[in-house]
Structure 1
Amino acid sequence: MESLIMDMIEAFISLSYFGVLLALTFEFIPAEVILPLAGYWVYQGDMNLYLTILAGSIGGVTGPLTLYALGKFGGRPLVLKFGKYFLIKDKQLNKADYFFEKYGGGIAFFGRFVPGIRTAISLPCGILNMNVWKFILYTYLAMLPVTSVYVYLGYKLGPKWEQAGAVFSHYANFLLIPIALIVIWLFMKSRKQKANQ
């Protein structure tokens, strides 16, 4: 299995930025591995830091967009049938449903920062027919900082890029909580403005 993963990684590096985008779209290998590894490729001089972050952020949208489409065009029955192939369980979907119903479209952004629903949140967005352009925008804005941190960590750690996940986890609260708070504030402000109209 490890040999197969290494072969896939070699294939991705041969495709450069498109390889990063492709890997994240279909999630052959977790983003927590691909992004720091891409940062290491930047460290080696094979890629540009900013273009790698851009490719990673776009891939971070196209992957969730696949799940969004599954929810939109297949509905809940199809999601329950095929969700397991995307490593999504009923419990995650139910939790994502609850968050979407409670917070609306804004969850497409800050749901990306909540462990246990960050992947599954795309499904209720599709099932409940959220505007696709709003979904893309929220998802991109959420994935940009996460992608940037992972790629930068891989770049700075160089040959020790595999430690990026542990470093990210250690500092995640300091990095992501301020972002999430800003988003919640913007979301509440938006709801208040709508209520006053």
Structure 2
Amino acid sequence: MLTEYIMAFVEFLKGFSYFGIMLALCFEFVPAEVVLPLAGFWVYEGDFNYYLVVIAGAVGGTIGPLTLYYLGKWGGRPMVIKYGKYFLVSKKQIDASDRFFDKYGAGVAFFGRFLPVVRTAISVPCGISEMNVIKFCVYTFIAILPITALYVYIGFTLGENWEQAGPIFKQYTMPIVYVIISGLAIYIIYRIIKNRRLKKDNI
């Protein structure tokens, strides 16, 4: 039933052209996994331009997380836990995002967008730590852009079968996730070795 309401809402926003696509992605309760492949199908039908859809989607995908960012900044963790469910964010996701942020700092605004467990809630610790909002938006946009382009392209390629985009997207992105995780692991090891050397030099 909820999916039907979301679909009706997205179809309604289609009437506002590219602004409607952007607006749809500003709402955290509207899954990008639905909007972007569907927009790709609209490109397939000739209703929209692929590149303009990607830009609109990336802008909307950057504005949307600002809701959780400011919820964390102004209300702190207790408010996020209390109201996060309305943005489809669970306490488990918030806890995972907190740990991820503690390990990797501001870079999580970029890297976190590629990781399934933390990508939705990663905006929360960024807000709580009062990370510079311009930096947050830039990191988020750079991360969201290729994800948006891929989702729209898959929807375009599948045409009327755009609803099958989810599994195909995971197939493409899992190697990227493994590369990011490996890169982070190497970075952590590098930092540990560097800190140990600094401690030895100071002795």
Distance in 1 (CA, whole Å) between partners of 2:77 and 2:166 is 33
Amino acid at match of 1:45: G
Unpaired runs of 5+ residues, structure 1, are: none
Whether contact under 8 Å (1:110, 1:183) holds in the other structure is no
- Specify the alignment match of 1:152 in structure 2: 153
Amino acid at match of 2:14: I
- Specify the alignment match of 1:139 in structure 2: 140
- Specify the alignment match of 1:162 in structure 2: 163
Structure of larger gyration radius: 2
The Cα shift of 1:181 comes to 7.0
Evaluate the alpha carbon distance shift between residue 59 and residue 182 of structure 1 in structure 2; reply closer, same or farther with a 3 A threshold.
farther
Moved more, 133-142 or 89-98: 89-98
Evaluate the alpha carbon distance shift between residue 87 and residue 4 of structure 1 in structure 2; reply closer, same or farther with a 3 A threshold.
closer
- Specify the alignment match of 1:38 in structure 2: 39
The Cα shift of 1:71 comes to 0.6
Aligned residues: 191
RMSD across aligned C-alpha pairs, in angstroms? Answer: 2.4
The Cα shift of 1:21 comes to 1.0
Evaluate the alpha carbon distance shift between residue 70 and residue 144 of structure 1 in structure 2; reply closer, same or farther with a 3 A threshold.
same
Whether contact under 8 Å (2:29, 2:88) holds in the other structure is no
1:62-101 to 2 correspondences below 5 Å: 62-101=63-102
Task: Extract structure 1 runs of 4+ deviating beyond 6 A.
Answer: none
Moved more, 121-130 or 82-91: 82-91
Distance in 2 (CA, whole Å) between partners of 1:45 and 1:183 is 40
Moved more, 169-178 or 109-118: 169-178
Evaluate the alpha carbon distance shift between residue 125 and residue 164 of structure 1 in structure 2; reply closer, same or farther with a 3 A threshold.
same
- Specify the alignment match of 2:199 in structure 1: none
If the length of structure 2 is used for normalisation, what is the TM-score? 0.85
Moved more, 36-45 or 80-89: 80-89
Evaluate the alpha carbon distance shift between residue 103 and residue 89 of structure 1 in structure 2; reply closer, same or farther with a 3 A threshold.
same
Q: CA offsets per residue over residues 91-143 of structure 1, 9 Å max, x none?
A: 21111111111110001100111111101110000001111111001100110
The Cα shift of 1:73 comes to 1.1
Q: Percent identity?
A: 56
Whether contact under 8 Å (2:21, 2:60) holds in the other structure is yes
Distance in 2 (CA, whole Å) between partners of 1:117 and 1:40 is 28
Whether contact under 8 Å (2:81, 2:91) holds in the other structure is yes
The Cα shift of 1:157 comes to 1.1
Matched residue SS, 2:26: helix
Moved more, 53-62 or 161-170: 161-170
Q: CA offsets per residue over residues 68-105 of structure 1, 9 Å max, x none?
A: 01111111121121111111122211111111111100
